[in-house]
Amino acid sequence: MSERVRARDRMRERESACKRALESSPENERECASEIESARERESAPERVSARERVRERTSRARERESERERERARESERAGDKRKNARKREQAREHARERERARERARESERERESERARERERGEGKSAQEHVSESESTRERERESARVRERASERESETAHE
């Protein structure tokens, strides 16, 4: 049997295999049509077909290399994005810590101001007995301390919520 006859038999065999595959699952239609066409091309001009197949093979490999490069670039981009995101989170945490420290400093400053105001009131005396001054200033100081604690807790809650 000559090479041409064997090639024709192989082509017919592929055609019938493709037709059977098409009957079982129609979504293979494009692949089967392509296979049948390339088999006919190989039968009609084997030397031209081999050159075409080499070109197809080269372009297929080139496409595969390019898609692998694309996937690698995407992975690199994702890693860089993660690094930037982590840096942003660290900076936000530092900013929240600075904000909490500023809130504590404001609370300390307002406490100092209230203390100096109380000292000025004591110096003025305003005609009250010493006992009245003491009990009044103690209750005032207690209210102010409680108020400062509430403000500080609120500030910490606010910065924690912003941090989350």
User: Which two structure tokens, joined as six digits, stand for 144?
Assistant: 């102010």
Give pLDDT tens digits for 47-56.
665 677 778 8
Of 7, 14, 60, 61, nearest to 37 (Cα)?
14
What is the band of 43 on the pLDDT scale with cuts at 50, 70, 90?
low
Q: What is the pTM of this model?
A: 0.34
Question: 102 pLDDT exceeds 90?
Answer: yes
Burial of 93 (0-12, 13-18, 19+ CB in 10 A): exposed
Name the residue type at position 44: S
Cβ atoms of residues 4 and 43 within 8 Å: yes
